[in-house]
Structure 1
Amino acid sequence: MPGHVNANFPHGDQKAPWEGIGTGWFYSVNGGGDELRSYFVDGEKKSRGDLGNFEEFKEYLKDNRRSVSYDNTYTGGDVGNSLRGDFAVPTLFNGNFDVVGAEFDPTASIPGWSADSGSSVNVNSLPENLVEWSNIGLPQRYRQGAGYNGTTANYALKLDSNFQEITHNPFVIPEWGNLRFDVYAPEKSGKLNIQLEVEGANIPVKTIDLALDAGTVAENDKQNVSEIKKTYGKNVNSIGYGREGGFETFQLPFQKLSTDEWKKFIGKPAKLTFTLEGNSEVFIDNVFFKSAHVKLGNPTNARWDATQETPTNLLVEKPGYTVSYNTQTKTPNWVSWQVNKTWTVPGKRRLGIEFIDDPFFSLQSSPPNWPKVNGTIFTGLGMDRGHLIPDRDRNRNPKDTIETYMGSNLIAQSMDNNRLFDPDANPAPASAWFNIEKMIGNGVEAGKGKEYYVVAGSLGNDWSVQKKSNAPELLKNPLNQGDTNPQKFVNNISIPEWTWKSAIALPKPGMEITSEAEAFVYITPNHAEPEDNELPIEHPLNDLLNEDRGFIESREEWRDPETWRVSLQQLQDLLNSRKDPQNPEETDPHFDFQFDFLSHITDGEVRKKLMKDGEYVPF
């Protein structure tokens, strides 16, 4: 085998006695030659031992080898991405109903799916219930926001009075991730039952009331936590955006099961059935596990685990976003979400309701000591109830907006790090954080619209008394004057020193993550902006990042997002190096996990490019 590290033949020598491509049995562990595999670095042949420590070896593999998770599904011609599922190995085969063969054949069965054996419908008639998106009546804004232009086939499944039930062939439940599926129900009648069956596990049937429209919060109840929780609970299995706007996502939340029940079916064969009750019509698409909001990765490899009394990295999946929650700091480690035109309506007024405690933390399966954080505890603090995913990114329907007012999406945020200061001024002055949110919104609306994958969180814990605000526009209101009162903030909830946000922008929705994607990453201080007599002021990121960014000269510069832009690599390194305040030599026990923002990106060049975007270059 001339390719191994002890051979004297140069790589590619046509006269060498090559056998195959040098990656077969000889180089396998069982073949005994795994230590003789060769790796070519800058034209030089090296062994595994020459490549340094394991982390360096992993980086080499990311940059130079195709991962086993690389998706080589055909995407040529007019097929585009339609044959791909959610991952290279889909969490559910043909969950998007787009694997229909080279040509649509109404006499064939749908790959991966079958009619119930007791159904009167001929199994071979199933494809007649696959409907191309162009024939569903989806609004133009939804089709544009989802990246659908009609040139690539995109099918959804239609259940109606003639075909009321379909079952997915047996599959294996993945290690993590709720079952999710998209529903479009223009007709206001009937019920949709979703049954997941695993031998030995008792999983309740989920029923969506197709006749029930999701509600909103009455004006008089906007600060009433109890009434908001009731509205949220009623909305979970009713139709919101999916009535007239387009497909909306529902979940079968495994959080409602006990951990013992959950463990019974992980990795076990399962059967999934959708059944329509009544004389109605409903469309179903994108039936998968794991949230679409973590397309780029589950940043801290978070998991739901109700056996832990005080978990630091608790996965909470919702239809509108995904969270890693820290029950020790009582704040989210991160919130991740997708945003495009399917999620937003420009110029819509904020709902402005009180935050409620996350119902997942009050389930029978959840430990009783898990934090029940809502917005009422902020009374008298002198800081804002800060969203990580803003309600403006989920304002298409009140059902989606209400979901952003959860304690699992809530941090204590300085007024000067959160607000639009004067909406009547032109241009309207605002904090850098608000301007970052606005920038993303503008990108979504510009032309055909971009698609963003956003992750946001906070850093540090600062319980010191500080000014509520130094923004002249806010100080006109006496309520915004004076100092914060952190002692009012019960239960030792962390008050962040910094807030951060990573937004990966795709030029158009639905496209693959390629070198055309761009990373916009920011770290902003979570305290009042400087007073006029403090300017110019040394850049606060100088100490945090050990850089020399000079001085900030004006309020306008302080409020400019570009002032706070960093690279994704810098943010990730910062989050992965948090030390215990009581023992600086040790890792902070509140954060016993590591970040990898791009863990689902297998192309080494794309990873490298996104990690470096926005890197600060001194003048």
Structure 2
Amino acid sequence: MQLKRSSFVLLISSLLLISCQKSLVSPIPTDPATISTKAKTQTVVQTFDEDFESGSKTGYAAADVTLNSGSWNLDDALIGTSTSDRKNGSRSARIRNTGTLSMNFDVSTGASTVTMNYAVYGTDGSSAFQLWVSSNGGSSYTQVGSIEITASSTTLNAATFNVNQSGSLRFQLRKTSGGTNRINIDDFTINSFDSGSGGGTGGGSGSSTADNTNLLLGNPSAATSSTANADNYLIDQTYFIESYNRDKGVPNWVSWYVGSTSLGSINRSNDFRADTNLPAGWYEVSNTSYSGSGFDRGHNCPSADRTSTTAANQATFLMDNMIPQAPNNNEHTWANLEAYGRTLVTAGNEIYVVMGSYGSGGTGSAGSATTVDGGHVVVPSNIWKVIVVIPNGNNDLSRITTDTRVIAVNTPNINTLSTDWTQYITTVKDIENATGYTLFSNLPASVRTALETKRDAGTAN
């Protein structure tokens, strides 16, 4: 079983993230019976993971318990250690009835996202829970978004709540249905509004030029976070940024950074799941949407590029990071290209990556198709990637020059292609001509023009 981290994750950058698109419900007074009334002045200034491995609480009666991250109030909840508790490690929180897990302290750096693992306890039936946030020291709370997560499996699954709120915050998890059925909660992670493991972006349609940010090179399609722009909708997933196409059910492009801090020892989570934070009324592509189609659930931002934390790896398994990809393309040609990118990082470089797809119609193991999932997801005809390589250092944008190495690859989405990705090397300009995007909009015009026409030598470099 994977070991869990119990220490704070260091804050690595100062970023500005897009505002949350889902409305919050009206604040409600906190029930004093559910929150400890002692002074709560502790402030956490770093993003952290709470794994519930420290502290002990064996009864359901409301009480405070000191955990690695600080003091929490557990009401109708305890720290479970039995074989029926679903957990990573030896402990997790267990909640029943309408119990709550409440922080008795604030995180001072706000929150971009909050993630956690959840499952039903033992053989209990399903239950649901919500996440609530307070910006006034616990005096009142508002619900994060409008989603309610239902736990129905005995296997731990990940839930991600988009918060995108600055300032001092604390959170409360509320069990909302299921009666005496119990839920296990583990690996409660707050990603700071001012940081993200792998970077973030500025709001609107812009991009941050700070080092190690996911949209450093620019916003290729001028995507925005307006729902009126449904086929070019900007989503900051903390660990990567994408332009999502609602009508195609796939991203237009995904952009991310990979450096030495992005790579660690976290195992692949295989937690394929729908993105429940999409705007209300949008179709949510599910983990089974590609089943029987002959196409893989092909990552844009790869799982292996995000192995520093559990939350980072799990984020890559959101279905809006996937495309229907021919198996041999995904498992061989593309996997080889992804692995080569990571060897560049371990050799002392950092890379900025943009990947996307275009067109309609590919050929998988079951033959050709233009759509899957009853027409909800378009199968692209071509899959492309651009990698910008610079040595480790600071002031990254200014260090990208006309001599910087740029790898551009464009493959057909078919099952009979070569496993050698270098056979599909192209230029950035060719990809821009095919897509209509401008990939290096944050670079000076003279540098952008020079890099757009460079053709890489592949592994011979």
- TM category (shorter chain) comes to 0.5 to 0.7
Change (3 A) 1:605 1:360: same
**Residues 341-490 of structure 1 mapped to structure 2, 5 A cutoff:** 341-345=260-264, 349-353=267-271, 355-361=272-278, 366-368=279-281, 370-419=282-331, 431-446=332-347, 449-462=348-361, 466=363, 468=365, 483=367, 489-490=373-374
Question: Using the alignment, how far apart are the partners of 2:415 and 2:191 within structure 1?
Answer: 49
How far did 1:227 drift? 4.9
Deviations 1:454-508 (A, max 9, x none): 1111121116xx461xxxxxxxxxxxxx646777631342111110011111211
**Residues 140-539 of structure 1 mapped to structure 2, 5 A cutoff:** 164=43, 183=47, 187-190=68-71, 191=103, 193=106, 214-215=116-117, 227=153, 231-233=157-159, 236=161, 252-253=163-164, 273-274=167-168, 286=194, 289-290=202-203, 292-306=213-227, 308=228, 311-345=230-264, 349-353=267-271, 355-361=272-278, 366-368=279-281, 370-419=282-331, 431-446=332-347, 449-462=348-361, 466=363, 468=365, 483=367, 489-513=373-397, 514-515=400-401, 517-529=404-416
The answer on whether the counterparts of 1:193 and 1:207 sit within 8 Å (CA) in structure 2 is: no
The answer on whether the counterparts of 1:195 and 1:274 sit within 8 Å (CA) in structure 2 is: yes
Change (3 A) 1:522 1:182: farther
**Corresponding position of 2:27:** none
Change (3 A) 1:283 1:216: closer
- Select the structure that is richer in helix: 1
**Corresponding position of 2:439:** 597
The 3-state SS of whatever aligns with 2:214 is: helix
How far did 1:193 drift? 3.8
Change (3 A) 1:332 1:217: farther
- Select the structure that is richer in strand: 2
The answer on whether the counterparts of 1:228 and 1:356 sit within 8 Å (CA) in structure 2 is: no
Question: Using the alignment, how far apart are the partners of 1:410 and 1:597 within structure 2?
Answer: 20
Deviations 1:196-224 (A, max 9, x none): 9xxxxxxxx86999xxx954889x9xxx9
The answer on whether the counterparts of 2:369 and 2:379 sit within 8 Å (CA) in structure 1 is: no
**Corresponding position of 1:246:** none
Query: Aligned residues, how many?
Result: 314
Change (3 A) 1:283 1:382: closer
How far did 1:392 drift? 0.6
The answer on whether the counterparts of 2:48 and 2:69 sit within 8 Å (CA) in structure 1 is: no
**Corresponding position of 1:568:** 428
The 3-state SS of whatever aligns with 1:418 is: helix
Deviations 1:258-280 (A, max 9, x none): xxxxxxxxxxxxxx533689xxx
How far did 1:388 drift? 0.7
Aligned letter for 1:507? P
How far did 1:163 drift? 8.1
Say which one has the larger Rg: 1
Q: Using structure 1 for the length normalisation, give the TM-score.
A: 0.44
The answer on whether the counterparts of 2:215 and 2:256 sit within 8 Å (CA) in structure 1 is: yes
**Residues 61-210 of structure 1 mapped to structure 2, 5 A cutoff:** 164=43, 183=47, 187-190=68-71, 191=103, 193=106
Question: Using the alignment, how far apart are the partners of 2:342 and 2:118 within structure 1?
Answer: 23
**Corresponding position of 2:88:** none
Change (3 A) 1:404 1:505: same
Structure 2 residue ranges without an equivalent (≥5): 1-12, 19-39, 51-67, 72-102, 123-149, 172-189, 196-200
Aligned letter for 1:232? A
**Residues 12-27 of structure 1 mapped to structure 2, 5 A cutoff:** none
The answer on whether the counterparts of 2:254 and 2:354 sit within 8 Å (CA) in structure 1 is: yes
Change (3 A) 1:228 1:405: farther
The 3-state SS of whatever aligns with 1:461 is: coil
**Corresponding position of 2:452:** 611
Deviations 1:76-96 (A, max 9, x none): xxxxxxxx987xxx999xxxx
The 3-state SS of whatever aligns with 2:430 is: helix
